[in-house]
Amino acid sequence: MTTSATGMPFDDILSLIDQMAGPDEDARATVRARDAVLTKPAGSLGRLEDLAEWVAVWQRQAPPKVLRPLVAVFAGNHGVANQGVSAYPASVTQQMVENFAAGGAAVNQLCITNDLGLKVFDLALDFPTGDITREDAMDEMSCARTIAFGMEAIAGGTDLLCIGEMGIANTTIAAAIYAALFGGDAADWCGRGTGVDDEGLKRKVDAVEKALAFHDGNLDKPLEVLRRLGGREIAAMVGAILAARLQNIPVIVDGFVASSAAAVLYALDKAALDHCIFAHVSAESAHSRALDAMGVKALFDFGMRLGEGSGAALAAGIVKAAVQIHEGMATFEQASVDGPAEN
């Protein structure tokens, strides 16, 4: 396969993963040294202290700064929607993209609340990916180009990236990806998504089983899993998470669906998600299983199951608070506050 202006072959993507740098230990040490002299009992801000350190380590700068936080929402449509796996029609994907543009979605309100930028990228919504129960979702060129699109989408634009998605039927897609990457039965990975009833849940499990059977024998490489089972929004999120690492941008991953893009990278390289935090445990039942499979712990569990980057946008407010605290607080010396008693 040749590299085009907009795309790259899978080999090029794999070589980018090899180029990922590890954590910036100098930034970590600088943050810890400052944290130790801020006017608070040592360790008293718990995970907020970890978050400030995490931002610095992956921005490779101390103190960390969040001046241009961005929520990137990728939207795609899925052939498998025809199998009756969602409680809503596929037309909702395009309609919600318009709702995002008009400012009417939940994620818009979270972006206003936390002063975050929002960019929505719709990926060929008129051309759903192949129905994974009986064909590949994408060919290699299309999948690689979509990963490249996701990489471009965030280029130079942010210092804290929240990853979200919109795509009716994509909890089925995510379930299939998890099952292929991490094993287990289809039923282990299927939940009610937008709220399917028992019959809908059964159709969903059937669809994932059929997909796993149809692609059986061809799912040992993570990028093949993505190409055969994934949607365009999942591929674009893979690219965005990868590009963020190469550009020193920490990433907040949203819920069940966004985490499936992270899972593809995790399967390629266990260190590929070190610059990511997981915002929340989605109420989509298998999300905690997916987080466990990746060995990560989400920030909070609010019983949310929306997608569209909502959990990540909410978490961004916490991360911004952590960074503001670290940068803005006075030291014991500056504030003339006595340090720990020497007894």
Ligand X SMILES: Cc1cc2ncn([C@H]3O[C@H](COP(=O)(O)O)[C@@H](O)[C@H]3O)c2cc1C
Ligand Y SMILES: O=C(O)c1cccnc1
Residues annotated as catalytic are 308
> 164 forms bridges with which residues in the sheet?
73
DSSP state of 89: -
State the minimum distance, in angstroms, from the CB of residue 256 to ligand X: 9
Closer CB to ligand Y, residue 51 or residue 261? Answer: 261
Contact call for residue 165 and ligand X (CB under 6 A): yes
> 73 forms bridges with which residues in the sheet?
120, 164
State the minimum distance, in angstroms, from the CB of residue 332 to ligand X: 46
Helices in the chain by DSSP H: which ranges? 10-18, 25-35, 46-59, 91-102, 106-114, 140-153, 170-182, 186-189, 198-214, 222-229, 232-246, 256-268, 287-293, 310-328, 332-335
Kindly state the tokens that stand for 51: 């978050």
CA–CA distance, 186 with 167 (Å, rounded to integer): 20
Q: How many residues bind ligand X (CB under 6 A)?
A: 19
State the minimum distance, in angstroms, from the CB of residue 164 to ligand Y: 8
From the list ligand Y, ligand X, none, partner contacted by residue 284 (C-beta under 5 to 8 A by kind): ligand Y
State the minimum distance, in angstroms, from the CB of residue 11 to ligand X: 31
Contact call for residue 224 and ligand X (CB under 6 A): no
Candidates 170, 259, 260, 282; binder of ligand X (CB under 6 A) is: 170
Q: What residue type is 257 in one-letter code?
A: V
Candidates 83, 171, 260, 282; binder of ligand X (CB under 6 A) is: 171
Query: Whole-angstrom distance between the N-terminal and C-terminal Cα of the chain?
Result: 70
Contact call for residue 193 and ligand X (CB under 6 A): yes
Closest residue to bound ligand X by CB = 193
CA–CA distance, 194 with 169 (Å, rounded to integer): 9
Closest residue to bound ligand Y by CB = 255
Contact call for residue 96 and ligand X (CB under 6 A): yes
List residues near ligand X by CB under 6 A.
Answer: 86-88, 92, 96, 165-172, 193-194, 257, 306-308
